[in-house]
Every structure is written in structure tokens, then in C-alpha cells.
Amino acid sequence: MQKEVILTGLRSNSEFHLGNYLGAILPMVELQKKHAGQYQMNMFVPDLHSFTTPIDHGSLYEQSLQNLKVFVAAGLDIDQPDTYIYRQSYIPAHSELTWILDCFAGFGEASRMTEFKDKSQTVGVDRVTVGLFNYPVLMAADILLYGAHYIPVGEDQRQHIELARDLAMRLNNRFGELFTVPHEWSKQLEFAGIERGVRIRSLRNPEKKMSKSVEDPAGTIMLSDNPEDAAQKVIGATTDSVGVINYDWEKQPGVTNLLEILALLKGVNHQEVAKEWQGKSSYGDLKKTVADEVSKFLGDLQSRLSAVDEQKLTQKLEADEAEMAKVADQTLLKVQKAVGLRPKS
């Protein structure tokens, strides 16, 4: 019997920071370890999605490859025979199915997507692109082409998963069984584990999440930071004036963020770390411990990154792209036949 498919997109348009690593990359690597052999895992680079917001097109191509290397350095096993990695733009069926799905998606339905509403408000209606509006439909195509059952993503992507389900069911009702309908959100959550969705905060503004931002270089640890400089950023982290360490995102977000980073880097439960530090009064000791851990982590990661076998990675990528293009083309052909673009038999 064919294995059920877990599918997820690995962003590619900018360099990764520690928040990406702990909140997205590591959970994905863990997912692979947990399910190796039982499920097929499709881990693809949504490079077409990456220019729904302004980016540096001059570095996109290299950045996609570089970010894949980070996944490998983080422990993604590319020898695992059920794991497929590919770039979205190398498989034209994604774009083509998007157009067909577009013609079955409602304008109102797409307008209600909160990510679109939020981003279009920030960017302004004159600068927001049709691409951003269409983004969730492209995401539905990404999912439906491969008959994915599980799509481990954060809460912010929930509406997009629901749209993919709605479109699948709509076309199935009208044209017969074309698509595998992905599992509903509650099952997705159960599968991915409740704990996920941890958001590492900025070291300087712990009310905000860590992000690659020009205004906040001191609050963000980039994976390419020199380990010494990164340690200094931790030492300079904003805390509070409570004077006692507690795991409390509401009242002590700065200290809690440090405890969280420590727990994730050590691979232990945050409760365990919280218990160890609970009630202690030296923020300095905590910062020093986290700073050491961060600099050790970066040193290790950077040396693993430079040891990644690029040639092997590229070979795997190209072989998987060829194989997944076949799968995607089969689904597309089924749809093309159903909607009258190809002869029925």
C-alpha cells in the first residue's frame, strides 16, 4: 500500500535566524526522525511563494540552496528513501493547477484569508500584488498535487489548509474523486503535537517575535552570526525588574524567552529548565549559561554546514524533482481530463 504523505514547505527567501531554527527547522527534522519509514515526506521549497512579498531576486536562487543546506546541517537525512526534496518552480504543474483552482475559488473566499488581509494592510492596497492574493490557492495546489494527508504548519496557516480542503471537496463533488482531501485541522494538530508553535522572541523586544529585521539586529541571532557576537547579544538581552526568574510569558517575556531557548537547544522540556532556574535571582548567570549554549550551538552548526556535501544534495534534489514531477503531472492530467482540457480517455 502506498504510504500517506506528510508535506511541508521550507521557506527560502531570506537567511535563517535562531527563531526559524528552533521553531520550524528543528521540529521538521524531528518529524522526519519520528516518522521515517512509515510515511512519505515531501519537503519542498516554495520558491514561487517567496516573491509574494518584496525580496531580493538577485539572491533567491542561491538562498534556496543555502537554506536546504541548513536543513541538512540540522540533521535532515537525505538518504532516507521516503523523503523527497524539491523546488516548487521546477515542477510546472504547481502553476498550472493553481490557475485551474483559481477558477473554482471564490473572490470573497480568498479575500477573507487573514494573512492576506494583514499583509495587504501593512503594504498598502496599491503595492499589494495579485500574487499575494493568490498565494493560498498556490498553496492548495502544492498540497493537492501530491495527495498529502498531513501538512504540519503553524496556526497562522490554518485557513490556508482549510481552503485546500474546501477546494478539494468542491472539485471532488463536481467532477468525481480527483483529490485526496487533507485531514481536518484538529487531526493535523494531533499529528504535529500540541507543543509546537513555540515562537522565539526578539532578545531586545521580547514582546515581539524574533525576525530578520534591519531595526533589530541586536535582538536577532542569525545562524551565520559569529558565535562570540551571538553570545554578546544574549548577554545584552532585555529582561525585567522583577528580580526573580519565572517561566511566565506574560509578565517576564525576556527571561522566559531565554529559558525557552535554553530548553530547545538542550533538547529538553521547558518545564525541566524552568524548574532548575525557578526562583533564582541572578539574571546574569542565566544569560551566561544561555550565551554559552548559543555560541556552542552556532559553532557546531556552522562547521556541520560547511561539511554538507553540496554535490550529493544537488543530485538528490534533481532526482526528486524528476520523480515528483511525474506524480504531479499525473494528478494534473486527471484534473485536465475532468475539466475538459484533455480527452477523457
Give the residue numbers marked as catalytic: 119, 209, 212
Tell me if 143 contacts ligand TRP by CB under 6 A. Answer: yes
- Of 3-11, 100-108, 174-182, 257-265, the segment contacting ligand TRP by CB under 6 A is 3-11
Tell me if 7 contacts ligand TRP by CB under 6 A. Answer: yes
Minimum CB–partner distance for residue 151 and ligand TRP (Å)? 5
Q: How far is CA 264 from CA 25, 31, 334, in A?
A: 12, 15, 44
With CB under 6 A as the contact rule, the residue among 20, 29, 39, 49 that binds ligand TRP is 49
Q: Which residue has the cell 530547545?
A: 264
Question: In the structure grid, which three cell numbers stand for residue 244, read together?
Answer: 526573580
Nearest residue (CB) to ligand TRP, 8 versus 331: 8
Residue 105 and residue 164: Cα distance in Å, rounded?
10
- Of 6-14, 51-59, 173-181, 294-302, the segment contacting ligand TRP by CB under 6 A is 6-14
Tell me if 153 contacts ligand TRP by CB under 6 A. Answer: yes
Nearest to 245 by CA among 272, 278, 271: 278
Residue 235 and residue 27: Cα distance in Å, rounded?
26
- Find the DSSP H helices in the chain: 18-20, 26-35, 57-73, 93-102, 107-111, 114-123, 130-144, 158-175, 185-192, 227-235, 253-266, 270-277, 283-306, 310-338
Tell me if 8 contacts ligand TRP by CB under 6 A. Answer: yes
Q: Residues touching ligand TRP: how many (CB under 6 A)?
A: 12
Tell me if 270 contacts ligand TRP by CB under 6 A. Answer: no
Tell me if 157 contacts ligand TRP by CB under 6 A. Answer: yes
For ligand TRP, the binding residues (CB under 6 A) are: 7-9, 11, 46, 49, 139, 142-143, 151, 153, 157
